[in-house]
Structure 1
Amino acid sequence: MNAPPKSRVVIALLAVVAGLIGLTGLLVPVPAQAALAPPDLASNGSFETGALAPWTPYPADSVLLSTGQTTDGTRFARFPANASLSQLITGLNTSREYVVTGSIRADATAKFFVGLRYFDAEHPNVVESEKRYAASASWSRFEIRFSTDATHTSLGILAQNTGAAGYGDLDDVRLYEVTAVPGITSPGNTTYYVSSSGGDDSADGRTPGTAWRSFAKVNASRFAPGDRILLKAGDTWTGTTLHPLGSGAPGAPITLGKYGDAALRPILNAADDATSLNTQDLVKGTTSHLTYLTQTFYTSVYLYNQQYWTIRDLDVANHAAGFTDPNGDTNLRSGILVMNDNAGTLRSISVQNNQVHDVLGSRSQKTYWGGAGIIFTVMLKRADMASGSKYDGVLIEGNSVRNTNRQGIVTNSRQNLRADIDNTGDLVDAVAKGWSPWYPSTGVVIRNNYVKDVAGDGILPQVTTGALVEHNTVDGFNERSGGASAGIWAWNADRTAFQFNEAFGGRTTQDGQGYDLDYGQTGTVFQYNYSHDNEGGFVLVCAPGQGSNASGPGSGVTSDNGVVRYNISQNDRNRTFMFSGYSSGTLIYNNTVYQGPGIAAQPVNFWAWNKTYPTSAAFYNNIFALDSAGTWNYSDQGLTMQGLTFDGNTVYGTHTAGEPNDPHKLTTDPRLTAPGTGTTATPVGGPYQPPMLDGYKLAGGSPARASGVVVETTSGLTIDGRTPNGGHDYWGMAVVPGAIPNRGADNTAAGRRRPHPTLYPHPNSHLVPPHR
């Protein structure tokens, strides 16, 4: 499988004058004699000739030659306040990639940078584009990458101290053509080492002492089953996407990981290194048509049409050099991006134990090209392809994902067209033509990840069947997207199981619930989860129907047969259970909901999205312990929820308008042992620890014990053949079929206690790979 064409964003002009915006690069410590692959196109970059020429100082004689500790030889250039030095290099090859590297340091009072500039008719005044600043008084390595074209074949290297005091130092400046770095074709079952601080691209890479240095070397090489590519822990690479080629095989994946200090990780930030892909896409409408487009995106780690890979133990960021605004820029950025572009079924890809952070692209765009900490995506099915493309066997486990735009962890696919998602009617023609039909990925497991401070959605599997999402923590979501986002949910995906997750701290502009039974799916199960302190509420059940079928139950676009059972909600605000638009067969039972003083959320609320409404939903055996509450609302825009059933629920504390008429309702104290005391146990960054929720167990003598309705009998639902009652409560107490259960999430006394395993079976276990 071939890699797509890549194009770097061409660096424009760098100004000699001060006052222009700088982009601070990531810097790494550099030992003496750090080698680069030849040929070096810069002249006298180590200043060992004893003169500055062919460098030009400004003002004249402002830059000094000094001796002492250096990174290459004994001499370096020293820059007092307002001193600059430049070198012009001409005759570069067109349409090639180049990299400028070197070592810099500065004292605390200086403002010292190195940058690039072009000379051409388009930019006669020399406009700044990019530069790297010295961050400390210790020598650190910088790297700036750029591409040439027909009008940009001359390059100026500029170093300047724009501070009013202090000094900056420069040494070991080199320029070389990236594409000149020769790659290798691995025989397989070989370990390759890479070190930015001490490697050499001319070495064989097979031992730590003969490590390669650059990602250019890695990206030019093709790897084979059983290979390991290990990056030195603590080293930094900035300005280059890591895109190694090749695929592993069953039982012999290719591993991208680390070596060295166990307490450190390799640090990656592709910054302004852009990737462009030309592919087919769909223009929707009454007469849909296919078109080709070129999309540009930014990612630090990239797999394209590859399979049998493991990516682990990395520290990954993606933001423009020196850019720290959490609102992000306008680009589509990802930390780790795995793409399937009409390659059929790609199998067995694992992303494990990485720290992904500060992915500061667009905070608002949801796309198939990126915009997440970790994303798996599939491109539109081309017209010439006989079959669809998907993933089979995806494991995203043990990662920490924080401060990312727009999403945290996502699977997605453009091969998603079915009537179930056509909420505006503009896909009818495309669906009828059979273009890019729904072709879901299988064997998707998202487990034990910690997601924090994301602009939009926390964890979102899309276009999957039988996905398993468990033991994840989402801490702060919809922080800045300005749109509709939720903590943990699925879209256009069937039979997803969400269990033992915790979602909290969500903001709301729209939605903002901890969990979401969204549209284009059937048979989703939320069980044994904890939701708390979310501005939007606990659970959203939504589907827009079709606008052309307004003022009715809707058609096509729905959320069907969702199950919400044995979960705990504490102090979720606004709307505990929110129904929006058309859904059917939703079963909500044995959940415990607590609202403390001042919360006053509506226990149930309804919005008639596209003037459509649910046709059936049932609430059984839930406990609503309400120290405050809003009204219970089932109507909107003259429409009312249909087929709504309440039976066996407890509503205790605050009673408000709309409280349901429940034939077996209790209003007495359910005797929760310590409501409102639920506590997060997972440390920041993970790994997942079960929250401390024993305060929601039932005390002895609780009227909620053995007083519920038998769900499998009362509901009359088989839930696509799955066990209707779930088999056990939140803490692992058995729920015996046919026996009268407790109310709420605790089945103590009504059931028989059994060992609490760390992994409960997925309701669709035959579709999910075993625990790995």
Structure 2
Amino acid sequence: MQYFGRLTLKHWKIVAAPLIGALAACGGGESADGVAGQQLAAASVAGQAGGATPGTLHVDCSLGANGTGSPATLGTPANPIRDLATLNRIVLAPGTHVRFKRGTTCNGSFTPAPGSTGAAGAPIVVDAYGDPKASRPVIAAGCADTTADPDQSITEQHKTPNGFSGYYSLCKTDNPTVNRAAIYLYNTQYWEIRSLELTNDATTVGGRLGLYVRLEDYGTGSHYHVDDVYVHHVRGYLKDVAGNTVGSYKTTGGMLFEVTRDNEVVGTKEKPTNFDDIAVENSEIYAVDAVALSTRSAWMCREGGAPCGDYPPYKGNPAYLTNPATQAASDYFPMTRVVLRNNLIHNVGGDGIIVRTATAPKVEANHLYDIWMRAPGNSAGAWAINTDDALFQYNEVNGVRLQNNIEAGDGMAFDADLGTRNTRVAANFSHDNDGGLMLFCGCGSDGLGHTAQETGAIVENNLSLNDKRRIISAAGSADSVVRDNVVITRTPGLVTPIVENLSYANAFQVTGNRFYNASDSGAIYRTKNAQGSYANIVWSGNAYFGYAADSEFTGPNYRHGAQPDTVLPFAGQDVDAVAGAWLRDSGFDRHKYRAPHAR
């Protein structure tokens, strides 16, 4: 019994009979709603009440559904659990370890039974066991009959070098069941997930994720740590379509931590709910639609924040939003202690990383490339919305694309979006992005009659190399600063204006930056809309190399600050040395993404 729960002799008679009876039922193939599920739940609860200590459950789906060992030893290495249906009927106690065997695949969704939750100091840990040389264990929520692509070479052969690149499925035959996620945790806390491979592949679009953690009417859920997990081939939605039962298409893709309020009506407001202590580290997300890694919350309504009407219970219900009884303007309960660190994210249909409704999240040392390859709606590399004090540092973002059918304001490496306050983007390496380095977006309403303003962003000490359409996309900003950055445009004939104005009110400073344009035809502005204004953009103490022919320096749009600018030809500039010095002195080389080990 030590592998399921170490029961003290004092309590053995209390729990032994229901526990063994429940375990015996596992091999009988009862449904989750049948007797076996009820007995397993009762046994686990009885074990906790009787003084059980945590144990370990081993899972090996390669052995078939029906075991031959003693029911009393189910979950041991000698008699492992053999399918997810059995595992999903067990209520997991705090401190339990669930270990999947390396080199094996479990088809379906790991959806722990209600009541399965860890505790402070005793999280539930999901991990691998077996031959350390074998491949990581797979939970495949989508098709079961697939083409193996362990080194990604088959999928990469079907990738276009730029513009639109379609999703490539490895499915030979499809799964008629659409599972929401390979791992789906609902209203639970204190979990650690490590060393797994998650897929949810299909030949058609659907509401799919690799990892989905969801809270509703829960209060604060704590401690969700994901380390060294590989999520790939998840066929989600690329746009909102009729029949989509999961809400926004941006709730599909790689990993999502979401707070919902779908069941709320006026007069029965749910409990304010948020996440505390999310950490996703050392993981890889590849070939997913639509969003790779994100947080999302329906407890997001505040004055000057993101549009409240985008989320239930406000969505499609303006009376709810304006009803004084709902107190919609104070429904802001942000996530705390969110860290997304040292992850590799690539071949993504839409956005790379989105942090929504959080306080002081850290997004650092990630490498994102081949982003926005398929979605028809605007997307970017890594960005925050309706969030305060976000920090993006030591990230490398390259190959964010623009779709040819969109006159896009996006395609940027980074974005301080609607309702963000005091975002800091520092010491990042942005290169070869079709859209550019940075988007400021105060370009909408909060749903309460106010502008959803971006305020107080600091973009400093970044390196932008051969970013294309523009460096800064200005779509609404207040009291922000772009300072001490190095911008190098060395592709022949590439002009890359420094600021593109998208006809929203902008107020920010551009100070102490160095701009290099090898074509000697660098430009300061591109005005996408004629009504765009540069009156509150102040330029001070910048050095321009290769911009001398730009008449805008003396034009009415160029507002000079306190420090004089330097304007020189590009000739004689050693931009390789400039870039090398930045990589060293910024700390980027020391803190950038490091692959944890060979996949």
2:411 aligned residue: 512
Deviations 1:129-167 (A, max 9, x none): xxxxxxxxxxxxxxxxxx9xxxxxxxxxxxxxxxxxxxx
Change (3 A) 1:672 1:313: farther
Partner of 2:293: 409
2:470 — aligned with what?
575
Select 1:193's aligned residue among 51, 58, 61.
58
1:619 corresponds to which of 510, 519, 533: 510
Deviation at 1:237, TM superposition (A): 1.2
Alpha-carbon contact 2:546-2:570 (below 8 Å) kept: no
TM-score when normalising by structure 2: 0.74
- Of 229, 237, 259, the residue aligned with 2:106 is 237
C-alpha separation between the residues in 2 aligned to 1:464 and 1:446?
A: 13
Match of 1:117 in 2: none
Q: What does residue 200 of structure 2 align with?
A: 318
- 1:197 CA drift (Å): 1.8
Structure 1 residue 241: Cα displacement: 4.0
Structure 2 stretches lacking a partner, 5+ long: 1-23, 145-177, 241-246, 593-599
AA at the equivalent of 2:564: H
1:434 correspondence with 2:327: yes
1:221 alignment counterpart: 90
- The match for 1:103 is none
Paired residues of 1:192 and 1:207 also in contact (CA < 8 A): yes
What is the DSSP-based 3-state SS (H/G/I as helix, E as strand, rest coil) of the residue aligned with 2:86?
helix
User: Is the alpha carbon distance of 1:270 and 1:592 closer, same or farther for their aligned partners in structure 2, counting shifts above 3 Å?
Assistant: same
| Contact kept in structure 2, 1:368 and 1:414, CA below 8 Å | no
Letter in 2 for 1:617: F
- Specify the code of the residue in structure 2 equivalent to 1:531: S
Name the residue aligned to 1:259: 129
- 1:450 CA displacement: 0.5
Any unmatched runs of 5+ in structure 1?
A: 1-34, 41-95, 99-146, 148-175, 274-295, 324-328, 679-692, 699-728, 733-755, 760-772
Query: Could you report, residue by residue, the CA deviation over 1:291-317 in whole angstroms, capped at 9, with x for unpaired residues?
Result: xxxxx8611101000100001111100
Inter-partner Cα distance in structure 2 for 1:257 and 1:633: 52
Tell me, in whole angstroms, the C-alpha distance in 2 between the residues paired with 1:677 and 1:334: 43
Distance apart, 1:188 and its partner CA: 4.0
Query: Which structure carries more helix by proportion?
Result: 2
- Residues 550-561 of structure 1: pairs in structure 2 closer than 5 A: 555-561=450-456
Counterpart secondary structure, 2:180: strand
Question: Which residue type is aligned with residue 266 of structure 1?
Answer: P
Distance 1:566 1:446, change over 3 A: same
DSSP-derived class of the 1:640 partner: coil
Paired amino acid for 1:372: G
Q: 1:548 and 1:640, CA in 2 relative to 1: closer, same or farther beyond 3 A? A: farther
Give the 3-state SS of the residue equivalent to 1:658 in structure 2: helix
8 A Cα contact 1:424 1:547, kept in partner = yes
Task: Give yes or no for the alignment of 1:483 onto 2:377.
Answer: yes
User: 2:14 maps to which residue?
Assistant: none
Quote the offset at 1:252 in angstroms: 1.0
Partner residue of 2:357? 463
Give the drift of 1:418: 1.9
2:387 is paired with a residue whose SS is coil
**The residue matched to 2:73 in structure 1 has which SS?**
coil
Aligned ranges for residues 647-666 of structure 1 at < 5 Å?
647-655=540-548, 656-659=550-553, 660=558, 662=560, 663-666=563-566
Tell me if 1:731 matches 2:596. Answer: no
Task: Name the residue aligned to 1:345.
Answer: 220
Which amino acid is the alignment partner of residue 393 of structure 1? Answer: D
Q: Given the alignment, which residue of 212, 231, 235 partners 1:356?
A: 231
Say whether residues 1:271 and 2:142 are aligned partners: yes
| Contact 1:461–1:491 (CA under 8 A) maintained in structure 2 | yes
What amino acid does structure 2 have at the position aligned with 1:633? Y
1:637 maps to which of 511, 520, 530: 530
Residue aligned with 2:238, SS: coil
- The 10-residue stretch of structure 1 (403-412 or 182-191) with the greater mean CA deviation from structure 2: 182-191
CA positional deviation for 1:639 = 3.8
Per the alignment, in what secondary structure is the counterpart of residue 297 of structure 2?
Answer: coil
- Per-residue deviation, 1:519: 1.3
CA positional deviation for 1:602: 1.3
Shift of residue 631, structure 1, vs aligned partner: 3.4
The answer for the alignment partner of 2:256 in structure 1 is: 375
Aligned to 2:500: 605
TM-score by length of 1: 0.58
Retained in 2: the 8 A contact 1:225–1:254? yes
What's the offset of the Cα at 1:654? 3.5
Correspondence 1:527 to 2:426: yes
Q: How far did 1:555 drift?
A: 4.3
| Count of aligned pairs between the two proteins | 489
Work out whether residues 513 and 534 of structure 1, in 8 Å CA contact, stay in contact via their aligned partners in 2: yes
Partners of 2:213 and 2:353 in 1: how far apart?
16
Which residue in 2 is equivalent to 1:746?
none
Residue 367 of structure 1: how far off its partner (Å): 2.7
Letter in 1 for 2:79: T
SS in structure 2 of the partner of residue 216 of structure 1 = helix
> Aligned with 1:213: secondary structure?
coil
Alignment partner of 2:78: what SS?
helix
Aligned amino acid, residue 631 of structure 1:
A
The residue that corresponds to 1:740 in the other structure is none
* SS of residue paired to 1:694: helix
Give the deviation of 1:598 after TM superposition: 2.5
Q: Does 1:384 align with 2:268?
A: yes
Q: Choose which of 118, 124, 130 in structure 2 pairs with 1:248.
A: 118
2:284 maps to a residue whose letter is S
